Amino acid sequence: MALSIALAGNPNCGKTTMFNDLTGANQYVGNWPGVTVEKKEGKYKADKDVIITDLPGVYSLSPYSPEEIVTRDYLLSGTPDAVINLVDGTSLERNLYLTSQILELGVPVVVALNMMDLVEKRGDKIDVDALSKQLGCPVVPTTALRGKGLDDLMSTAIAQAKAGKAPKPSMKFDAAVEDALSQIEAIVGSAVPANEKRWFAIKLFEGESLTEQALKLPADSMDKVASIREAMEGKLDDDAESIVTGERYDAIAHVVDRCVKKAPATMTTTQKIDRVVTNRILGLPIFIVIMTLVYYISVSTVGTIATDWANDGLFGDGWLYTGTEQYDEAVEEFEAALETAEGVAAFEAGTLEEPDPAEFGLWHPGVPVVVEEWLTSVDCAPWLQSLLLDGIIAGVGAVLGFVPQLIILFLLLSFLEGCGYMARVAFIMDRVFRRFGLSGKSFIPMLISSGCGVPGVMATKTIENEKDRRMTVMTTTMIPCGAKLPIIALVFGALAGEFYEGTWWVAPLFYFLGLFAIIISCIMLKKTRAFAGEATPFIMELPQYHLPTAKNVLLATWERVKAYIVKAGTIIFLSSIVIWFLLNFGMYEGAFGLLDTEADDYIQYSLMAGTGSFLSWIFMPLGFGNWEAVATTVTGLVAKENVVATVGIITSLGEVGEDDPTIWASFATLMGGSSVAIMAFCAFNLLCAPCFAAIGAIRNQMRSAKWTWATIGYLCGFAWVVALLIYQLGGLATGEVGFSFWTVVAVVLLALMLFQIFRPTPDFQKKDQKKAAKLESAGEAKANA
Amino acid sequence: MAEQTDCAVKTLRDVPIGATARVVKLVGEGQVKRHIMDMGITKGVDVTVRKVAPLGDPLEVTVRGYELSLRKSEAENVLVA
């Protein structure tokens, strides 16, 4: 029969390293049911019949975080045959606090005393046998980083699992508390298995509602427990929870006194590094340098090269590795020739040819080119060819194109996380972010998002708190990313025209709009039921610095990138087909069918135009209620780069860039020449749902369809309101838009937003109680009638 | 709340950088209090304040042999002698 062994311990105690070592590549990553906490399982390398479950890193088994609840529920469920409790030998007291709780659960336990090399280096001496006697379970010294002691640990754990012996710790609380606990154990009687009695007695003494509900003891028993608790609380002048926590730590201090000979305290390496890295004066400059490096490597330099290669090379025309200069020169010459009448004639006659990149150096064609050649060679139907190339390969390719960049980003982030700097980032930035309800760890996703929203959303992975993570995912794509810059440039050009010197403020304005949107969104969301609650406490361990192993960094990177490819891939695949269908099918000359995309104005007949007209009433109050603008916005969902391209197609200008004056003029005409409508269009496109790739990343991070839709809904709704305010109120101010029904709507919405921003956070608990009371009294009234 | 208005009571927030203080009591309730205790700040333990973050908040303290960071507002829940 297969044995199940759980791996439990504090965060940063080397659990991931040990899990990776024990299971090798046999890992399955999933979710614990009902929560977004990651569940990792793997088969033991040396014995495939042993399944190892990596529990979330927790400091305690209290019922306050999803991680803690998942851990205790799993340990109490009876599934694991034994628990390996990983303990960091360099911080024994705090680590044994969790151990003291695990020992009460009645499951066989083996304590792995980890980081023994660091303990020895410090000159501390731990008496392993004495510790084992005190804890009442086997203790095996290990050094997970070097794979030391793991065989010994596993054989002990397997033996314990087979024997099924519960630990018998000799750690005792104060006599009075012990007396109270044994009274409660007597009250509980046979309601719980004998070896879990102490755990339940302690939980009942603490008055933990989760356990009280689970046990469903008769009311008189509960009253007895309550009176025991009150007596103790009065006697010790403290609440029961504090009494138990204090007693645990006191008992542990006692054990540590007996088993550990500490070397005289000197400054640790971590303290020495932190003297510089989180220094009051040097801390910020060092932080800025590190963040700039992360940004430049993952977004600007290496990341862009990798993404360009993937987008233009692998999923584009192809990629030229050498001889690019000569090729560029040849292209310039060719284009210059085309400007002249003789050149055009020569080109049409076939004597002048476009330069072939393959002749200039090492060249490989892109996937679409190869597939196109192959499809043409097998005589594939044009519509299928178009679906495969323009729909699926273009759409999925746009998403997979981000993979190289993601790999680079995650290598860097996994390294920063593994070495312990991520906790310092939170430490340094906390002051800024908690003002609008987030913690310092939200900084990294937002920084990365200014380059690209996909890695930005994926970077939220390092935020442990579920609410913080969700809120960061929801808002981080409001920062203008690289692909949104052309939209800003287009709008800037359309507004400024010839007088661009006078309107230099437009581009920075939209950056500030993004930042401002995030801040007010956070403030507003924080006051909704889903995000309300106590400010996330910032009581966080600053772990010791250490060099992460290459294996851990690579595995962490692979895990995240793989998750993105799988989850994002499926959504994008379907969405690409839908958008392709909308763009390429339509009614032309009375018949429904595939449109001729070579024709200049084919898009007018497409389903997309129909969809645009159908949806245009939504955008009417925003000043751009024509199908062209709507279709542009919809194609922006596939990739924001498409917005400019679609404007080009719709205005029959073909492939023109966003910096071309002709597209500025036709775009301005498209918007009816209204500058507030142009601003509103830009604001909507910058703030609404991001591209499919980013939506895929959001789905991946939220791990819930409901939250993904909530995010898309919020982003679109918020963007709509902001665009409405700009058009209606801005237009009223400049005299472009008259007073109408929508002006009133805009004012009301603005007032509602201000109300949500400035009102105090409502007390949802109280509201719930009131509601319950009302329902009860209503029920009573009914019963009386 | 009564403890917080009383000026004579010293909290972890008032401990100068580099100094060590002994915890007397924890005030407040619920998750935050439990979390502070779970991390090892319990009655009778010595806490050394290491530093303040570059922007003036949170604090870094050493307790039970490791480094812990907490906000000044949370440090106010820890009464020290």
At A473-523, the pLDDT tens digits run 999 999 887 778 778 877 877 877 655 555 667 767 787 888 889 988 988
Q: Which residues contact A17 (CB under 8 A, 6 or more apart)?
A: A144, A145, A549, A552
pLDDT at A79 over 90: no
Within a domain: A66: yes
Interface check for A242 against chain B (CB to CB < 8 A): the answer is yes
The model's pLDDT over A135-172, given as tens digits with 9 standing for 90+, comes to 999 999 998 888 889 999 999 999 999 998 888 888 88
Q: Which of A428, A452, A453 shows the shortest CA–CA distance to A439?
A: A428
Question: Does residue A50 sit in the same domain as residue A159?
Answer: yes
Quote the CA–CA distance of A210 and A231 in Å, as a whole number: 22
Q: For chain A, how many structural domains are there in total?
A: 2
A778 pLDDT band, cuts 50/70/90, is low
Quote the CA–CA distance of A320 and A364 in Å, as a whole number: 7
Of the two residues A571 and A249, the one the predictor is more confident about is A249
Question: Does residue A37 sit in the same domain as residue A76?
Answer: yes
Q: B66 contacts in A (CB within 8 Å)?
A: 90-91, 94, 541, 544
| Structural element, H or E, at residue A365 | strand A363-365
- For residue A155, give the CATH number of its domain: 3.40.50.300
From chain A residues 573-632, the ones with a CB under 8 A of any chain B CB are none
> Among A94, A128, A163, where does a domain finish?
A163
B2 pLDDT band, cuts 50/70/90, is very low
A693 pLDDT band, cuts 50/70/90, is confident
Question: Given the DSSP bridges, would you call strands B59-63 and B66-70 parallel, antiparallel or unpaired?
Answer: antiparallel
User: What pLDDT does B5 receive?
Assistant: 47
User: What pLDDT does B49 receive?
Assistant: 94
Please give the average per-residue pLDDT across B27-42, as a whole number.
Answer: 87
Interface check for B27 against chain A (CB to CB < 8 A): the answer is no
Within a domain: A231: yes
Quote the CA–CA distance of A662 and A667 in Å, as a whole number: 9
User: Counting Cβ atoms within 10 Å, is residue A524 exposed (0-12), middle (13-18) or buried (19+)?
Assistant: buried
User: Per the structure block, which two tokens stand in for A77?
Assistant: 């469920």
Quote the CA–CA distance of A223 and A695 in Å, as a whole number: 52
Interface check for B38 against chain A (CB to CB < 8 A): the answer is yes
Q: A246 contacts in B (CB within 8 Å)?
A: 37, 42-44
pTM above 0.80, yes or no: no
Please give the average per-residue pLDDT across A234-257, as a whole number.
Answer: 91
Quote the CA–CA distance of A278 and A427 in Å, as a whole number: 8
A251 pLDDT band, cuts 50/70/90, is very high
Q: A537 contacts in B (CB within 8 Å)?
A: 31-32, 35-36, 70-71, 74
Q: Which residues contact A340 (CB under 8 A, 6 or more apart)?
A: none
Residues in chain A, overall count: 785
Within a domain: A16: yes
B3 pLDDT band, cuts 50/70/90, is very low
- Residues A143, A267, A422: CA angle, nearest 5 degrees: 65
- For residue A255, give the CATH number of its domain: 1.10.287.1770
Phi, psi angle pair for A38, to nearest 5°: -75, 135
The minimum CA-CA distance between A270 and chain B, rounded to whole Å, is: 9
Residues B75, B59 contacting (CB under 8 angstroms): yes
Question: Does residue A56 sit in the same domain as residue A107?
Answer: yes
Question: Does residue A120 sit in the same domain as residue A189?
Answer: no
Question: Does residue A197 sit in the same domain as residue A254?
Answer: yes
User: What pLDDT does B7 receive?
Assistant: 54
Please give the average per-residue pLDDT across A650-675, as a whole number.
Answer: 72
Interface check for B17 against chain A (CB to CB < 8 A): the answer is no
pLDDT at B1 over 50: no
pLDDT at A548 over 80: yes
Phi, psi angle pair for A354, to nearest 5°: -65, 140
Quote the CA–CA distance of A305 and B17 in Å, as a whole number: 47
Q: Helices A550-584 and A692-702: crossing angle, nearest 10°? A: 130
In 10 A of CB A339, how many CB atoms? Answer: 8
Quote the CA–CA distance of A452 and A472 in Å, as a whole number: 15
Share of chain A above pLDDT 90, in %: 21
The model's pLDDT over A39-56, given as tens digits with 9 standing for 90+, comes to 889 999 888 899 999 998
User: Counting Cβ atoms within 10 Å, is residue A34 exposed (0-12), middle (13-18) or buried (19+)?
Assistant: exposed
Residue with tokens 């800024």: A432
The model's pLDDT over A373-391, given as tens digits with 9 standing for 90+, comes to 888 888 877 778 877 877 7
The model's pLDDT over A63-77, given as tens digits with 9 standing for 90+, comes to 877 788 889 989 988
Among chain A residues, the shortest Cα distance to B72 is held by: A538
The model's pLDDT over A633-656, given as tens digits with 9 standing for 90+, comes to 887 877 777 777 777 767 665 555
Say how many CA atoms lie within 13 Å of A352 toward its Cβ. Answer: 18
Mean pLDDT, chain B, rounded, equals 86
> By mean pLDDT, which of A14-23, A64-73, A502-511, A604-613 is the weakest?
A502-511
Q: Which of A319, A59, A38 shows the shortest CA–CA distance to B40?
A: A59
Question: Does residue A189 sit in the same domain as residue A236?
Answer: yes
User: Counting Cβ atoms within 10 Å, is residue A763 exposed (0-12), middle (13-18) or buried (19+)?
Assistant: exposed
**Is it true that the peptide bond before B58 is cis, omega within 30 degrees of 0?**
yes
A547 pLDDT band, cuts 50/70/90, is confident
The model's pLDDT over A713-762, given as tens digits with 9 standing for 90+, comes to 999 999 999 999 999 998 888 888 888 888 899 999 999 999 888 888 77
CATH 3.40.140.10 fits B2-80, yes or no: no
Residue B11 per-residue DSSP state: B
- Is residue A47 classed as helix, strand or coil in its secondary structure? strand
| Structural element, H or E, at residue B79 | strand B78-80
Residue with tokens 């095996």: A140
Q: Where are the alpha helices (DSSP H) in A43-174?
A: 66-76, 92-102, 116-122, 128-135, 150-163
Of the two residues B68 and A386, the one the predictor is more confident about is B68
Within a domain: A425: no
Residue with tokens 């309107």: A503
- Is residue A31 classed as helix, strand or coil in its secondary structure? strand
With an 8 Å Cβ cutoff, are B42 and A242 in contact? yes
Residues B42, A242 contacting (CB under 8 angstroms): yes
> Among A242, A261, A280, where does a domain finish?
A261
Residue A741 per-residue DSSP state: H
Share of chain B above pLDDT 90, in %: 56
Question: Given the DSSP bridges, would you call strands A318-320 and A363-365 parallel, antiparallel or unpaired?
Answer: antiparallel
User: Per the structure block, which two tokens stand in for A728?
Assistant: 């209606």
Within a domain: A22: yes
Residues A525, A472 contacting (CB under 8 angstroms): no
User: Per the structure block, which two tokens stand in for B32?
Assistant: 């935050």
User: What pLDDT does A248 receive?
Assistant: 94
A36 pLDDT band, cuts 50/70/90, is low
Q: B30 contacts in A (CB within 8 Å)?
A: 534
Q: Tell me which residue range forms the domain holding A50.
A: 3-163
Maximum alpha-carbon separation in chain A? 105
Of the two residues A305 and A679, the one the predictor is more confident about is A679
With an 8 Å Cβ cutoff, are A242 and B44 in contact? no
pLDDT at A295 over 80: no
User: Per the structure block, which two tokens stand in for A469?
Assistant: 């993570």
Question: Does residue A217 sit in the same domain as residue A94?
Answer: no
Please give the average per-residue pLDDT across B4-16, as a whole number.
Answer: 76
Q: B67 contacts in A (CB within 8 Å)?
A: 270-271, 274, 541-542
Q: A261 contacts in B (CB within 8 Å)?
A: none
A130 pLDDT band, cuts 50/70/90, is very high
| Structural element, H or E, at residue A406 | helix A403-419
Question: Does residue A41 sit in the same domain as residue A138?
Answer: yes
Please give the average per-residue pLDDT across A653-665, as a whole number.
Answer: 68
User: What pLDDT does A493 receive?
Assistant: 78
The model's pLDDT over A423-456, given as tens digits with 9 standing for 90+, comes to 888 888 888 888 777 877 788 788 778 777 887 8
Within a domain: A92: yes
In 10 A of CB A435, how many CB atoms? Answer: 11
Interface check for B64 against chain A (CB to CB < 8 A): the answer is yes
In 10 A of CB A172, how many CB atoms? Answer: 12
> By mean pLDDT, which of A145-154, A243-252, A302-311, A333-342 is the weakest?
A302-311
User: Among partner residues B29, B33, B54, which is closest to A283 by beta-carbon distance?
Assistant: B54
Within a domain: A731: no
Question: Does residue A100 sit in the same domain as residue A151?
Answer: yes
User: What pLDDT does A35 receive?
Assistant: 64
Say how many CA atoms lie within 13 Å of A418 toward its Cβ. Answer: 20
Question: Does residue A187 sit in the same domain as residue A246?
Answer: yes
> Among A261, A287, A306, where does a domain finish?
A261
With an 8 Å Cβ cutoff, are A541 and B39 in contact? yes
Quote the CA–CA distance of A304 and A54 in Å, as a whole number: 36
User: Counting Cβ atoms within 10 Å, is residue A128 exposed (0-12), middle (13-18) or buried (19+)?
Assistant: middle
DSSP letters of B46-68?
EEEEEEE-TTS--EEEEETTEEE
pLDDT at A202 over 50: yes
With an 8 Å Cβ cutoff, are A428 and B55 in contact? yes
- Is residue A29 classed as helix, strand or coil in its secondary structure? strand
Quote the CA–CA distance of A161 and A166 in Å, as a whole number: 10
Mean pLDDT, chain A, rounded, equals 83
In 10 A of CB B52, how many CB atoms? Answer: 15
Question: Does residue A116 sit in the same domain as residue A185?
Answer: no
User: Per the structure block, which two tokens stand in for B81?
Assistant: 């002698």
User: Per the structure block, which two tokens stand in for A132?
Assistant: 């084992």
For A629-680, the three-class secondary structure string (H helix, E strand, C coil) is HHHHHHHHHHCCHHHHHHHHHHCCCCCCCCCCHHHHHHHHHHCCCCHHHHHH
Residues A416, A422 contacting (CB under 8 angstroms): yes
Conformational region of residue A136, where left means phi above 0, alpha means psi within -120 to 50, and beta covers everything else: left
Return the CA Rg of chain A.
32
Residue A148 per-residue DSSP state: B
User: What pLDDT does A655 receive?
Assistant: 56
Question: Does residue A10 sit in the same domain as residue A149?
Answer: yes
User: What pLDDT does A656 receive?
Assistant: 59
Within a domain: A370: no
Residues A591, A637 contacting (CB under 8 angstroms): no
Q: B51 contacts in A (CB within 8 Å)?
A: 278-280
Among chain A residues, the shortest Cα distance to B69 is held by: A540
User: What pLDDT does A446 receive?
Assistant: 84
User: Among partner residues A92, A94, A430, which is closest to B53 by beta-carbon distance?
Assistant: A430
User: What pLDDT does A191 receive?
Assistant: 81
User: Per the structure block, which two tokens stand in for B22?
Assistant: 């002994």
With an 8 Å Cβ cutoff, are A538 and B68 in contact? no
Q: Which of A635, A110, A98, A650 shows the shortest CA–CA distance to A391?
A: A635
Of the two residues A447 and A688, the one the predictor is more confident about is A688
In 10 A of CB B46, how many CB atoms? Answer: 12
